[in-house]
Structure 1
């Protein structure tokens, strides 16, 4: 853990003395007095518990400990400078484009408000939001065509080279229109869903394994009237017009359920619960625009009270 007593001025002064090999020359470059430079170096040496410089004739040279510390001090100063440059670039010019892949549950429940907040930051970055199957989105992220994917955690074999940050958990539900016949039944057999058209996530979707496992566990090995889709607009339109049953992440239809246009069948779906969050490329620091977008998404989840 970094010693909180070490300040930016300590690093800047140390680097300049090492570069100039002279307290006097470093003082001139930094526009401070020699005693101020000497005092700052001594403070830093006291905090570290080692001598950073040694006398050499009438001058000084950096010590072995100083050589070790110099590399890290230089990296710290450079990182701060990159941050400053990023802020300046964002304020005075167009920022880098921001390309986000969002699964249906996130594109409906998180992204509208997050994008609105992001635009208030005026980074100059144009945000592009795309949707699609989880497999395609992760492949695009991995090769650099996307900067971020927002949605469910994928299977381990699809996460190579990627990093997932969980934000909240969500389960799959049986969504139907508000006048669906099964809603009037206090108790019904789960096998009765076979009497209706069932909208299922496609084989490549991230929630399909949860759905398949749930159906098999509950003795439903095969459904005859099935439509596979990852289109949330089609799903809404179809379910609101017909007595179909839609297996979909709860967040996708939360607003319709709240407004009374749709409802969920009272079935325990807790075993389909999974983490929803942010997927990025591993070991790659986000640029300023991406950092701001990720922060707005995190804040949106906290405000909703769903955070993990």
Structure 2
């Protein structure tokens, strides 16, 4: 007896379901898919109606797949990856072009390394299209595991997150505390460690690699947790909000390197070298490296060298 897929299940159902599962948020999934939140909710509910099961359940302020949702996710993700690879293979064959190079980059890398890397990459007249995605490390690594990305450039993840992945160290980077010029904490008579927690503080999100590093540093320095915390991975929001307020932004140095050099942001004057951590290239151990991907890796290495000197 031949088992057929229910014709009511469409590609948009799988795309919406997988993205909500990855982001653990309908709002963030809607942003990634560039459709409205109600449209994502409606699409997921249509899929649940077809399957006759609940695919998501509440987890704190977010959502997560149910047990049956996890089962469906494994097969749906594999199906989408196979379909994407099939489309890419046909497109490459038809265009006789190199496969696209898909890079995931943390904000610090996007701001300081990737622009220079793209300059090197394009200087080699490489014809392959390039896709650069910025986001949290956990999300980028999941996309890497699902073969949606070829390479992630960012901080080394925790050992338990590195199964099936390899890491190449490029350089080390510290976390800094930045404020607007003229901030009270920059004055000579300010007691930074005592006063710091009284200001709104932009913190790395709890899924970010540097969050535990930041928390350990605050504890080690005897700094109280801030009364007002704003979790964000948006460098554009952080940059704009800190410039217009008295907030303190805890961020990887590379994200604000140009701002500090230009004098539009200032680093609080205390030693954060204990927060330094390795930044490098993370790949799947089974990745077949195309010529274009090899050229991009070479370009990133060259850009990282220049960044270290700068």
TM-score, with normalisation over the residues of structure 2?
A: 0.67
Q: Does 1:246 align with 2:235?
A: no
Q: How many residues align?
A: 218
Q: Which digits, 9 at most, give the CA deviation of each residue in 1:167-225, with x for residues without a partner?
A: 10010000111121111125524131111110000000111110011112222353211
Q: Does 1:233 align with 2:236?
A: yes
Distance 1:186 1:131 in 2: 39
User: Is 2:101–2:129's contact at 8 Å kept on the other side of the alignment?
Assistant: yes
Cα shift at 1:267: 1.4
Q: Does 1:122 align with 2:125?
A: yes
Tell which structure's C-alpha radius of gyration is larger: 1
- Higher mean C-alpha displacement, 181-190 vs 133-142: 181-190
1:209 to 195, 212, 215: 212
Q: How does 1:109-258 map to 2 (within 5 A)?
A: 109-185=112-188, 188-258=191-261
Partner of 1:105: 108
Q: Which runs of 5+ in 1 are unaligned?
A: 1-88
Q: Which SS does the other structure have where 2:171 is aligned?
A: strand
Distance 2:126 2:258 in 1: 30
Partner of 2:281: 278
Distance 1:280 1:113, change over 3 A: same
Cα shift at 1:108: 0.3
Partner of 2:293: 290
Distance 1:191 1:290 in 2: 48
User: Is 2:103–2:151's contact at 8 Å kept on the other side of the alignment?
Assistant: yes
Q: Which runs of 5+ in 2 are unaligned?
A: 1-91
Partner of 2:272: 269
Q: How does 1:1-80 map to 2 (within 5 A)?
A: none
User: Is 1:94–1:123's contact at 8 Å kept on the other side of the alignment?
Assistant: no
Cα shift at 1:306: 4.6
Distance 1:213 1:93, change over 3 A: same
Distance 2:268 2:279 in 1: 22
- Higher mean C-alpha displacement, 113-122 vs 272-281: 113-122
Cα shift at 1:120: 2.4
When the two chains are superposed, the root-mean-square deviation of aligned CA atoms in Å is 1.9
Distance 1:304 1:132, change over 3 A: closer
User: Is 2:199–2:226's contact at 8 Å kept on the other side of the alignment?
Assistant: no
User: Is 1:93–1:124's contact at 8 Å kept on the other side of the alignment?
Assistant: no
User: Is 1:164–1:277's contact at 8 Å kept on the other side of the alignment?
Assistant: yes
Partner of 2:99: 96
Distance 1:305 1:230 in 2: 23
Distance 1:119 1:186 in 2: 50
Q: Which SS does the other structure have where 1:252 is aligned?
A: helix
